[in-house]
Each structure stands twice: as C-alpha cells, then as structure tokens.
Copies of this chain bind each other. A is one copy, B any other.
Amino acid sequence: MGRPTVHDIAREAGVSLATVDRVLNARPGVKQATIARVNAVIETIGYVRDVAAANLARQRSFTFAFVLPDRDTAFLASLRREIKVAGDHVRMDRVNLNLVSVATENAASYSMEIDRLIAQQIDGIALMATETPQIRDAIRRARAAGVRVITLVSDQPLSERDHFVGINNTAAGRTAGLLMGRFIGARPGKVLVIAGTMLARDHAERRLGFDQVIHSQFPNLTSLPTMECHDDPEVIAAKIPPLLADHPDILGIYSIGAGNRGLLRALAGNSTKPVVVAHELSPHARDALLDGTFDVVLTQDVGHIIRSATRVLRAFAEGRDIIAAQERIRLDVFIRENLP
C-alpha cells in the first residue's frame, strides 16, 4: 500500500533483489534487456528511491569547500558567517562545509588551493573569484578529476563550472539604472559609477546593465567613466570628494561594489544630495538608507546563496536533480520603507 520498494520492483520485473540493486546503482553484470525491463517496471509502479534509507545504508558523508577571497569586506564577512551557520545545520545530514580563504590578487595561489582540494578528494567546490585563465584552468582540472564546481556571486561562464549561484548582475545594473533615472527625474546632469574592479564579472555586468538603461532611457543623464577603487573605503573616501567638486552637476552615484563606508565619509561633508544606489545591505548601508544618504540598496540574500550552493552541491553529489526555481537567487531591492 505504501510507496513501492525494491522488493516490488523485483517481484514485478521477475528478477531478484540483487539484479534490481545492480540496475539501480549502475553496477555491472546485467543484460541490457534486463536493465530495460527493470527500468520499465520502475517507471510504471512509480518507484522512487528512499533517499533517507539509502544515505543511512551507505553511511555517506560529503565535504564541500567554499573558496573565497581573503579580503575583509562586510559582504565577505557575511558570506563567511552564513557558511558557518549553514555548516552547523547540514552537519546532521552528514554534510561538512569547509571555508577556505585565498589571497585574491594571486591567481596562482587560488589555482594551487583548488588543486589541493582536488587532491584531498573533496566532494564539491563553491568558488568566488575574478575571471582569469588560471582559474578557468583550475576549474577544468577539477571537473576532469570528477569534482563538481559551482561559481558563487560572480560567475565564470566561460569555464566548465557546473552551476552558478548568484543574482543576474546585468539585471541588477539595469534595475539600478532605472531607479536612478526615475528618482533623479528630468534634471540634466551626470552620474558617477564606483566599482571594485572591472575584472570581477559581477561588477562589469552591473556597469553594463546600468549603462544600457541610462543611455537608452534617460538622455538627460551622462554616466562618467568607472572609478575602480578596489572595494577599499580609504581609496573611495580619498577619490570622491575632489570629483564631486569638479563636477557640481553629479546628480547620482552608483556604487557597484564594496567600500560603502568610504563613500559615506565622502558624502558626509557634501552640500548637495545626489541619488545614491548601492549594493549589499551592510549595517552601514542600512544606516545610510535610514538617514537618507542612500536611496536604494540592491542586495543578494547571502544566506540564500550559501544554502542554495550547499543544496546544489549536494544534489550533484547524490546524483539528484535540482529544483531550478528554488535555486534562482533573486535581487532584493531595499529602500528605507521595506528594510527587514
């Protein structure tokens, strides 16, 4: 009456349990015709493997590694925090999460780290990195060694990664552009774009989306060349004030990356109030929304990203398929009025 089991398959297909087991687990020694018959029965009686029982029986445990840049931004800190939290929760399902920080400026050390993980037979890697040939090669080596790789936050579409967990950054940039344009209104002027580095695909894509919308829909606005400030608050705090002084007609600022503390310092002394769109809801960004310094903060829910990455890696490891809709990370649009 309950759900069908392997015994039901065996009975219906007229084979022994051993054969059913061989088919189910793709073990050798079964005729093609028999495989087909067993699979047909599985189909008709609607058998689904009891994952709980299977995991119990095979005492399987998985170890996944999250490889992140070792920089010290609020966003990375929250990623690390969520990895720890998620790790505590999935441990009881025999899943271990390792957190690895790598010097970001050094692609070679990144690559070595991935090789180290391959060597220790890791069950999956979640990777956040800039797009470089070395890292692409490392991903290829991992895949060749049978290790699944997913990219996190910033994609590497040209690599052989199995999956990407993160928002659509072009859409994020377009959203920033539209809100910027509509909040500014009809006034003519300039908008300033601050990014970490254009080598990071997420930053480049945001810039691209932003420009698409500003250029096509808001002819009253001109966007200035990207200021690359390497997500460093000090650099931002130093570079922005002279720029604002040079261009009194800057009506908006789009802060693509991290270092918002520096931006806040730069804006504190400013007489005019540009429309500011920033990314990632850190405590500083939150305060800035509340006091009106920032107008919009676009965010990706870090907890969701980590949980999604864990689910996806696990699905890969267990050979299951994933619920695409559940794994799509959405862009959160925060204004003062809908702060969580």
Assembly CA distance A213 to B338 (angstroms): 11
A178 in contact (CB, < 8 A)? yes
Q: Are B59 and A56 in contact (CB under 8 A)?
A: no
Name the distance in Å between A189's Cβ and chain B's nearest Cβ: 15
- B92, B307, B339: the one contacting A326 at CB < 8 Å is B307
Q: Quick one: closest B residue to A46, CB to CB?
A: B91
A29 in contact (CB, < 8 A)? no
Copies in the complex: 2
Q: Are B172 and A338 in contact (CB under 8 A)?
A: yes
Contact with B along A302-340 (1 / 0, CB 8 A): 011001000000000000000101101011110111111
Assembly CA distance A336 to B63 (angstroms): 41
Interface residues of A in 217-231 (CB under 8 A from B): none
Interface residues of A in 167-201 (CB under 8 A from B): 168, 171-172, 174-175, 177-179, 182-183, 185-186
- B93, B182, B337: the one contacting A175 at CB < 8 Å is B337
Q: Are B332 and A330 in contact (CB under 8 A)?
A: yes
Assembly CA distance A177 to B2 (angstroms): 52
A89 in contact (CB, < 8 A)? yes
Q: Are B336 and A178 in contact (CB under 8 A)?
A: yes
With a cutoff of 8 Å between Cβ atoms, the chain B residues found around residue A50 in the complex are 56, 92
What are 29 sample pairs from A and B whose C-beta atoms fall under 8 A apart? A2-B61, A3-B92, A48-B91, A50-B92, A51-B92, A51-B93, A52-B52, A52-B56, A52-B93, A53-B56, A89-B323, A171-B337, A171-B339, A172-B338, A174-B337, A174-B338, A175-B337, A175-B338, A177-B337, A178-B335, A178-B336, A179-B335, A182-B182, A185-B185, A185-B186, A209-B337, A304-B326, A332-B332, A333-B338
